[in-house]
Amino acid sequence: MNKNKTYKNLRKLLKFLFIAVSSLIILVPIYFIVVNSLKTVEESRMLSFSLPSVFQWGNYLEVIKAGSLVRAFGNSMLMAGVSTVIAVMVSSMAAYALSRRRSKAHNTVYLYFFMGLIAPVNYVTTLFTLKFLHLQNTYLGIILEFATLGIPFLVFLYYGFFDNIPRELDEAAVIDGCTPFQLFFKVIFPLLKPATITGIVLNFLGAWNDFVTPLYLLSDNKKLGMTNSIYNFFGEHFNDWNMVFADIILTIAPILIIYICGQKYIVSGTAGAVKG
C-alpha cells in the first residue's frame, strides 16, 4: 500500500515537472517582453534575456506620455466595456428565446446568427452603413459595431448553456406571477453567471484587441484605444524595443486583470456551450 502511494506521488511529481517545463514555452516570451521593457534603448536592442543593468521604470512613464495612453486607456475601457454590456444583454436574451422555442423558424434564426462566426467582415460596406446611420467616427458607432461582432459567438455560447437551466423554473415563476421580462432578468439571468462571465471576458478581450475595426470606422486619432496606440507607437518608435515592450505590457495589463478575475468561471461557462 505504502509503495503504491510513493509511486503515485512520484507520478504526480513527474506530471508537475512536465507541465511546469511546458509552461515555460508560454512564460519565456512573456518574461522576454517584461525584462526588455525595463532596459535602456541600447540594451533592449540586443534582444537578450539578461536582466537590465539598471531597471528603467521611467520607460513606462515616458510611454504613457508619448503615446497619450491615458486617453487611449479611457477610450478602450469605454468602447470595450459598453459594447460588451450591450452584446451580453442582447445575445443572452436572443439565445434564451431561441433555445426555449426551438421551432423550425427559430432554428433557422439560430443558424443565421451562427453564420456570423464564418461570414467575412467588410469594412467598406460597414463604414457605408454607419455613415447612412450618421454613426461614422463616433463612439456610439464603434460600440455598436463591437457589440455586433460579439453577437454570433455569444449567442452560440448562451444557446448551449440554456439546456442546463430547467424549464420547470420558468413555469414556477409564471405561476408566481412573473412577467416574461421579470422571469428572464430576475430568475434566469442570474443563473447564467458562468456563461455571462465567460462571455464578458472573451468579448472584452475581442474588442480590446481589435485594431482593424477602429482603423476604418474611427477617423479621429483622439478616439483610438490602446491596441491602436501601440500600432502607431510601433510605427514611430520601431527601434526602441524597450518602449514598444513597455507599451505592450501596459496594453495587456488591464485585460490580464479582467481575465484572471473571470478565469475560474470560464471552464464551467464554456461547458454549457460545448454540449449543444
According to CB under 8 A, which residues from 11 to 40 bind other proteins? 12, 15-16, 18-20, 22-23, 25-30, 32-33
Rounded to a whole number of angstroms, the minimum distance from the CB of residue 269 to other proteins is 8
Residue 168 C-alpha cell reads as 420547470
Please report the sign of the dihedral spanned by the C-alpha atoms of residue 115, residue 118, residue 121, residue 125: negative
User: What is the chain's alpha carbon radius of gyration, rounded to the nearest angstrom?
Assistant: 23
Contact window for other proteins (CB under 8 A) among 57-65, 73-81, 217-225: 217-225
Residue 104 C-alpha cell reads as 423550425
Residue in 151, 165, 47, 55 with CA at minimum distance from that of residue 100: 165
**Should residue 94 be labelled a site residue for other proteins when binding is judged by CB under 8 A?**
yes
Rounded to a whole number of angstroms, the minimum distance from the CB of residue 143 to other proteins is 10
**Should residue 209 be labelled a site residue for other proteins when binding is judged by CB under 8 A?**
yes
**Should residue 149 be labelled a site residue for other proteins when binding is judged by CB under 8 A?**
yes
- Residue 130's identity, in one-letter code, is L
Rounded to a whole number of angstroms, the minimum distance from the CB of residue 120 to other proteins is 4
Of 34-73, which residues contact other proteins (CB under 8 A)?
45, 47-49
**Should residue 152 be labelled a site residue for other proteins when binding is judged by CB under 8 A?**
yes
Contact window for other proteins (CB under 8 A) among 55-63, 68-76, 181-189: 181-189
Sequential DSSP letters for 254-265: HHHHHHHHHHHH
With cell 512520484, the residue in question is 10
Rounded to a whole number of angstroms, the minimum distance from the CB of residue 8 to other proteins is 9
DSSP label of 27: H
- Distance of alpha carbon 215 from the chain centroid: 19
Residue in 258, 261, 263, 199 with CA at minimum distance from that of residue 76: 258
User: Which of residues 55 and 238 has its CB atom nearest to other proteins in the complex?
Assistant: 238
Rounded to a whole number of angstroms, the minimum distance from the CB of residue 55 to other proteins is 20
